[in-house]
Amino acid sequence: MVSYSGYMSPEYAIDGLYSTKSDVFSFGVLVLEIVSGKRNRGFSHPDHSLNLLGHAWTLYMEGRSMELIDSSVGDIHNLSQVLRLINVGLLCVQCGPDDRPSMSLVVLMLSSDSTLPQPKEPGFFTGRGSTSSSGNQGPFSGNGITITMFDGR
């Protein structure tokens, strides 16, 4: 079982596979952290136990992405651009690397007004004490202890 930490993409954390799409995942996490003013690692919310990615996804799906924006930002002169940034961030943190855009497409999406696709559920859309949303849900031990039992043949 794998617990998510920081900016690591699901395919790297689970299978040790790294690609440019792993960087896209990390970029998406950074985007959501900047917009929200919160770190993904150690994120907490009084109403649920989701991580930052899960929180951003839930707000997006409920049409409440504005609530993700850090209050210290103050008056936002172009709210549609910030909401676009959240959408792009969520596209970057999708679970499957094939579902994530390339960085060149990310730049294009951020610099144009074209219609954006709707993101799929992000990788590691979790609450505390569970693993990635892509399958093996279940508790994990945060203390890093493993137990190996040896059996004779």
In a domain, 34, yes or no: yes
35 located within any domain: yes
CA angle 136, 137, 140 (to 5 degrees): 100
Is 119 inside any structural domain? no
Domain ranges, residue 107: 10-111
Specify the pTM. Answer: 0.73
In a domain, 133, yes or no: no
Query: What separation in angstroms does the CA of 65 have from each of 22, 43, 44, 79, 150?
Result: 24, 17, 17, 11, 51
For residue 42, tell me if it sits in a domain.
yes
Tens-of-pLDDT digits for all 153 residues of the chain?
A: 344 557 777 777 777 777 888 899 999 999 999 999 888 777 666 676 678 888 899 899 999 999 888 877 666 778 888 899 999 999 999 988 999 999 999 999 999 999 999 998 887 655 444 434 443 333 333 444 545 555 565
Predicted confidence (pLDDT) per residue in 1-32, tens digit: 344 557 777 777 777 777 888 899 999 999 99
Number of domains in the chain: 1
Tokens of residue 118, six digits: 């709707």
Q: Which CATH number is 50's domain given?
A: 1.10.510.10
Handedness of CA 94, 97, 99, 103 (dihedral sign): positive
